[in-house]
Amino acid sequence: MNRASAYVAIFSLIAGITHAGDLGQIGRSWPVIEPDFEEVIKNKLAQMEKNGSLLKHQQEIEKRARASLERPTPVKGLTTVDKEAVRYFDPSIVTTRDMADHKGAIFSLKGTKLNPLTYMSLSKPIFLFDGEDPKQVQLARTQLTLDAKTVLIMTNGNYIEVTKAVKNKVFFDQQSQFVNRFGLTKVPVRITQAGMTLKIHELKP
């Protein structure tokens, strides 16, 4: 067993070992006998190994880590599309400072309205969906048949299971970045470029 890993695993389980400040001497003093910190850990490890609690603790940590990877925190506040709709989103931003290129040449002054699509196009459709809804997962597969380059982004569900179901790479909208940026309240949606705007197509599953 890797001792360094085990130290980390049980650190939170060890009773508090604190260091008091110097309060001076009151009355007769006695020599202080402190157990070596590493020895305390080793002894605790040996005890936990003997009764099996260390293995159980490590397995629980691994289980929680695996669950977090397979099923990230769902994006909150989303409902399912109940009626097909289309709207257009202007991705323009207003700069809060002067913008310069890699050579230091200023190409945009503070307060200028910039549209990212002027410099970079959205070459691949983006499809956001709830991986917990079988109908939406099926719709994700359909999107790939329409355009194999479609970028699939989940807002909820088991990442591993959905990846296997669609047989394609799937991303997760961590920290609701896409949902917040595009002001989404419903899924599934397909996002494509339409001129200098983004077309947000809400699809009924």
Residue whose pair of structure tokens reads 């599953």 in the numeric block: 205
Judging by beta carbons within 10 Å of its beta carbon (0-12, 13-18, 19+), is residue 171 exposed, middle or buried?
middle
Write down the CATH number for the domain with range 79-202.
3.40.30
Q: What is the pLDDT of residues 91-118, one digit of tens each?
A: 998 888 988 888 888 888 888 888 889 8
pLDDT recorded at residue 53 = 67
- The angle subtended at Cα 90 by Cα 86 and Cα 94, nearest 5°, is 160
Residue 33 scores a pLDDT above 70: no
Half-sphere exposure of 117 (CA within 13 A, CB side): 14
C-alpha Rg value of the chain to the nearest Å: 28
Give 21 or 164, the one with higher predicted confidence: 164
Average pLDDT over residues 182-202: 96
Average pLDDT over residues 160-189: 93
pLDDT recorded at residue 116 = 87
Q: What would the two tokens of residue 164 be?
A: 């296997």
Is residue 179 within 8 Å of residue 89, measured between CB atoms?
no
Which of 25-34, 44-53, 61-70, 78-87 is modeled with the greatest confidence? 78-87
pTM metric for this prediction: 0.65
Is residue 178 within 8 Å of residue 126, measured between CB atoms?
yes
Judging by beta carbons within 10 Å of its beta carbon (0-12, 13-18, 19+), is residue 131 exposed, middle or buried?
buried
pLDDT recorded at residue 109 = 87
- The angle subtended at Cα 99 by Cα 95 and Cα 100, nearest 5°, is 170
| Domain ranges across the chain | 1-14+35-70, 79-202
pLDDT recorded at residue 147 = 95
SS3 content of the chain, % helix, strand, coil (to 5): 35, 20, 40
Residue 7 scores a pLDDT above 80: no
> Side chain identity at 37, as an amino acid letter?
F
Is residue 152 within 8 Å of residue 160, measured between CB atoms?
no
Nearest to 88 by CA among 186, 203, 198: 198
Residue 140 scores a pLDDT above 90: yes
Q: What is the pLDDT of residues 57-101, one digit of tens each?
A: 666 666 565 656 677 889 999 999 999 999 999 999 888 898 888
